[in-house]
Amino acid sequence: MPMTLRLVFAGTPDFAVPSLRACLASGADVVAVYTQPDRPAGRGRKLAPSPVKQAAQAAGVAVEQPETLRDAAARAQLAAHAPDLIVVVAYGLILPKSVLALPRLGCWNVHASRLPRWRGAAPIQRAILAGDAETGVDLMQMEAGLDTGPVLLERRTPIADDDTGGTLHDRLAELGADVLAEGLARVLRGEALAATPQPQEGVTYAHKLDKAEARLDWTESAIALARKVRAFDPWPVAEAEIHGERMRIWSAEPVASAVQAAPGSLVATHRDAIDVATGDGLLRIHELQRDGGRRVAVRDWLNARRDMARG
């Protein structure tokens, strides 16, 4: 028998917006949206609403922005919404046990990996950095541990050789909305979702990205460096010194080569690319950005560097 479902959604960045839209389209009664407080953004550092807040306001849904859910007043306000289910997608705040236990159906989380691999804050980028061939999205029943809860539903996707942190983010955001929509539809039909405990083997942690990681070490292999370029697009963007100039590198590929040159040496220029020696192989760079400049194709950078010979 179809049922009614009072739902609270908690999320903050762009990744969560497709999932919010899935909730709004599901037939559930989305009684409130929780998102982080407005933060300074842009050159003027003016307070800016999160993408989730903007989407919620456009849909006419009440928005709550507590600094924490650990104080009694915030928990009382949440309880007043009387949710049957709380859906959490990249919210950014810890849900205490008292909140996890509040809804009769508990709390669901949309997580951008195939658990237990890449629990934690940056699963998309860590999967690319590790050279994983596949990733996915899990709909998880939340518990007190960090991404340790049982999995309700899953979607998978291959990681292509040209996937970046940005392209994979967008694809997983849509897959997350898809798996969430299926879960909500089944619950609204009166089904009980089977919860599969995560295996004990294969646990890895996706630690938060640090901007310092984006500085390329030319002694690493070309394969590892190319993965960094892809993973750190669009943030924090790979950085390195090339021909005496500090650059951000936006697009590159590894090239197997027996060329003997010091790591970091510019060994060849082509019409549309440059080759830099690494600890193993060459990194062929196609797009870069000078300090204070804009992202450009290598051919445009070479046009401004007439002193450099073409290969």
Is the whole model's pTM more than 0.85, yes or no? Answer: yes
Q: For residue 127, which phi and psi values (nearest 5 degrees)? A: -65, -40
- Bridge partners (DSSP) of residue 252 are 285
Tokens of 288: 């870069």
User: What is the structure's pLDDT at 1?
Assistant: 47
248 is in an annotated binding site: no
What pLDDT score does 308 carry? 63
Q: Are 120 and 167 in contact (CB under 8 A)?
A: no
pLDDT of residue 45: 84
Tell me the average confidence (pLDDT) per consecutive run of 10 residues in the chain, 311 residues long.
85 98 98 96 87 98 96 95 98 94 97 98 98 98 96 98 98 98 97 96 96 96 98 97 93 94 95 96 97 93 71 47
Note whether 8 and 33 are within 8 A (CB). yes
Q: How far apart are CA 298 and CA 301, in angstroms?
A: 5
> Residue type at 230?
R
Domains and CATH numbers, the chain: 6-206 (3.40.50.170), 214-303 (3.10.25.10)
Residue 115 assigned ligand-binding role: yes
Instruction: Consult the annotation and say whether 158 binds a ligand.
Output: no
Q: Is 221 annotated as a binding residue?
A: no
Rounded to 5°, angle at Cα 160 from 154 and 163: 95
User: Scanning the structure block, which residue is given the tokens 């790591």?
Assistant: 263
pLDDT for the residue 303: 86
